[in-house]
Amino acid sequence: MSEKKSYDKATEEGIKKAHSDGVETIWDRLEAQQPQCGFGQLGLCCRNCNMGPCRIDPFGEGPSKGVCGATAGTIVSRNLVRMIAAGAAAHGDHGREVALVFKEMVEGELPGYEIKDQAKLKAIASKLGIDIHREIKEIAEDVARIALLDFGKQDEKMLAFANAYAPESLKELWKNINVAPRNIDREITESMHRTNMGVDADPISLSLQGIRTALGDGWGGSLIGSEFSDVMFGTPYPVESTANLGVLEEDKVNVIVHGHVPILSEKIVEAAEDEDMIELAKSKGAAGIVVAGMCCTGNEITMRHGIPTAGNFLQQELAITTGAVDAMVVDYQCIMPSLVDVADCYHTKVITTSEKAKIPGAEHIEFYPQQADEIARKIIKRAIENYPARAKDKIKIPSEKMDGIVGFSVESIVEALGGSLNPLLDAIKEGTIKGIAGIVGCNNPKLEHDKGHIEVAKELIANDILVVGTGCWSIAAMKAGLFKVEGAKLAGDGLKAVCEQLGIPPCLHMGSCVDNTRILVAISAIAEALGVKTSDLPVAGAAPEWMSEKAVSIGTYFIASGVFTVLGTTPPILGSSEVVKLLTEDVEEVTGGKFAVESNPHKIAGLMLRHIESKRAQLLGKRG
């Protein structure tokens, strides 16, 4: 556990406020959990059947096998595959929801939604081999059908989306080692089947299924989520935004949207702009309405509309402790059940909206896309009505907030480069930009909040590495000023010159966690343009503060797509040297990517830099 809780002043202030108000936070609960279970940390406990729970003694003194005979390697790899399956399920279910809303919209059943980006729809259709010289509705129907089939088709062929988006070299590799994902849901189901008592016991075969499941996420579930969101809500283009708890305003109704899916948050943003809602807020004594995002649904609405972001994962409780949040509206994923306990000490209404994610003590207003506008207005109204219930003496909003530019989709990056990737490729060849790093993922109270995210990014840009990223990293980067064009002053001379010429920041916000697929798409396009494999590129990834099972799936699809990826917190695999060796060494010979585990930000950056330098040298050598 880290001594200092956060790198971010607003968060430190929030923690102090929580303590003085007698509110328990995530850091208190982490402390109460110490020491955490050693077997669990090593991945050595199994409760997959009721002959157990079983645990393996890592010191070789106690049992070396579970009741059924499962070894450390079997148990660790089974647990890992289940983590991947859960993460892929979260992303896949999100992607499915977006695709289903899209389908119903196309069928004319959802008046609240529309196709905002026809060009993007046609681009997706072209990739899928669909005839685009037809009515938009016909194209949309075909795209929706193919996407939904990727969740349910029963043949052995690769997902249509993976097949359409992944470079040939990767597809060939996946076929050769039999990890090409066939059906997003099937891979998750098969992972659960194989890890069930008495099925797959081989760490290698289990890990390969983990890879196949993760690929079904990155090149399937998440990709579908991102692409359909772009079609319905618009492909992101650079827009100015603001981040940190200081975006909340004392004299306005503050509504935080927290979670992941843009289906609801987009509508909340719209409803809050309605004249009659603003009038209603004024009638209650408020000067207006602020909608602010949190976590990835925050990323979704900031990148498309510049809506401010109140904070990342570890700031969710603290937002409520400002005493100024009138409603915290959540959909699903990364929402701490503790929010209702925190809200109990203030006036805040925690409103759950998804049938899939209810929290005891929260108010549930179920969201149906059929009545999207009506329900969004109802929620905003609820927040407005709650405004007069504030306890004035409990309100204290940290002043910190930072502006920056967000919303760099692949399309907008190409546009910023003047229509093709060539200027970027030239800069990489010349060495003005030495390589590209993706930094992604969560916060974790085991580490100093935001520190890894910011320090790794700063060190990389200082070494002329262009940094792109998503998720809670991007909120940390924004708060630290790394999304400002002036942030380029922290970059090395080469990167600085490129940023100044293009008017872009040195770190580019590519969206939410499902939008990691934008990074996959970008590196695939670069590899194809250079005529090399993704694993030949001067590219590296890191998740310095990850905590979610989704991050395990993300990391796994990156290494299976040829990217060297550093994990900042240790995954529960150290109980099996066989599994550790497989994922941090042997896999590289097969996919070209592998994991490293390192928590020190300076060392994380060092590992990434070394990898990028060596790939650069090889690439330039190869290309003569």
Annotated binding site for [4Fe-4S] cluster: 37, 45-46, 49, 54, 68
Widest CA span of the chain, in angstroms? 71
Q: Which among ligand BF8, ligand SF4, none contacts residue 550 (Cβ within 5 to 8 A by kind)?
A: ligand BF8
Q: Beta strand 309-311 with 289-294: parallel, antiparallel or unpaired?
A: parallel
Binding region for ligand BF8 (CB under 6 A):
260, 295-296, 312-313, 334, 441-442, 471-472, 512-513, 548, 550-551
Q: Between 56 and 457, name the residue whose CB sits nearer to ligand SF4.
A: 56
Q: Between 67 and 590, name the residue whose CB sits nearer to ligand SF4.
A: 67
Q: Which among ligand SF4, ligand BF8, none contacts residue 387 (Cβ within 5 to 8 A by kind)?
A: none
Tokens 């395990």 belong to 552
Of the CA atoms within 13 Å of residue 577, those in its CB half-sphere come to: 2
Long-range contacts of 421-427 (CB under 8 A, 24+ apart): 421/525, 421/526, 421/529, 422/529, 424/466, 424/526, 425/526, 425/529, 425/530, 427/494, 427/498
Q: Which among ligand BF8, ligand SF4, none contacts residue 167 (Cβ within 5 to 8 A by kind)?
A: none
CB of 146 to ligand BF8, least distance (A): 25
CB of 550 to ligand BF8, least distance (A): 5
Query: How many Cβ atoms are within 10 Å of 61's Cβ, its own excluded?
Result: 7
**CA proximity to 482, closest of 562, 403, 566:** 403
CB of 56 to ligand SF4, least distance (A): 8
CB of 452 to ligand BF8, least distance (A): 13
Residue 44 carries which DSSP code? -
Q: Between 68 and 395, name the residue whose CB sits nearer to ligand SF4.
A: 68
Q: Which among ligand SF4, ligand BF8, none contacts residue 296 (Cβ within 5 to 8 A by kind)?
A: ligand BF8
**CA proximity to 102, closest of 218, 244, 266:** 266
Query: How many Cβ atoms are within 10 Å of 393's Cβ, its own excluded?
Result: 7
CB of 359 to ligand BF8, least distance (A): 16
Q: Between 195 and 242, name the residue whose CB sits nearer to ligand SF4.
A: 195
Could you give the 3-state DSSP secondary structure of residue 222? helix
CB of 53 to ligand SF4, least distance (A): 6
Angstrom distance (rounded) from CA 85 to CA 259: 20
| Residue 518, Cβ density class (10 Å: 0-12 exposed, 13-18 middle, ≥19 buried) | buried
CB of 48 to ligand BF8, least distance (A): 25
Query: How many Cβ atoms are within 10 Å of 208's Cβ, its own excluded?
Result: 21
SS3 string, 447-474, reads CCECHHHHHHHHHHHHCCEEEEECHHHH
Q: Which among ligand SF4, ligand BF8, none contacts residue 305 (Cβ within 5 to 8 A by kind)?
A: none
Q: Which among ligand SF4, ligand BF8, none contacts residue 471 (Cβ within 5 to 8 A by kind)?
A: ligand BF8
CB of 45 to ligand SF4, least distance (A): 8
Q: Which among ligand SF4, ligand BF8, none contacts residue 289 (Cβ within 5 to 8 A by kind)?
A: none
- For residues 344 and 272, the answer to whether their CB atoms sit within 8 Å is no
- For residues 43 and 79, the answer to whether their CB atoms sit within 8 Å is yes
Q: Between 70 and 143, name the residue whose CB sits nearer to ligand SF4.
A: 70
Q: Which among ligand BF8, ligand SF4, none contacts residue 462 (Cβ within 5 to 8 A by kind)?
A: none
Q: Between 55 and 267, name the residue whose CB sits nearer to ligand SF4.
A: 55
Q: Which among ligand SF4, ligand BF8, none contacts residue 334 (Cβ within 5 to 8 A by kind)?
A: ligand BF8
State the binding site. Answer: 37, 45-46, 49, 54, 68, 260, 296, 334, 442, 472, 513
Binding region for ligand SF4 (CB under 6 A):
46-49, 51-54, 66-68, 70, 75, 197
State the binding site for [Ni-4Fe-4S] cluster. Answer: 260, 296, 334, 442, 472, 513
Q: Between 10 and 295, name the residue whose CB sits nearer to ligand BF8.
A: 295
Q: Beta strand 253-258 with 289-294: parallel, antiparallel or unpaired?
A: parallel
Tokens 């939904």 belong to 148
Q: Which among ligand BF8, ligand SF4, none contacts residue 548 (Cβ within 5 to 8 A by kind)?
A: ligand BF8
- For residues 477 and 457, the answer to whether their CB atoms sit within 8 Å is yes
Q: Between 143 and 519, name the residue whose CB sits nearer to ligand BF8.
A: 519
**CA proximity to 82, closest of 525, 577, 453, 571:** 571
Q: Between 334 and 563, name the residue whose CB sits nearer to ligand BF8.
A: 334
CB of 392 to ligand SF4, least distance (A): 55
Interaxial angle between packed helices 262-273 and 222-233, expressed in degrees from 0 to 180 and rounded to the nearest 10: 20
CB of 264 to ligand BF8, least distance (A): 15
Angstrom distance (rounded) from CA 613 to CA 609: 6
Alpha helices in 292-408 (DSSP H): 295-305, 316-321, 339-344, 372-386
Query: How many Cβ atoms are within 10 Å of 64's Cβ, its own excluded?
Result: 11
Q: Between 48 and 353, name the residue whose CB sits nearer to ligand SF4.
A: 48
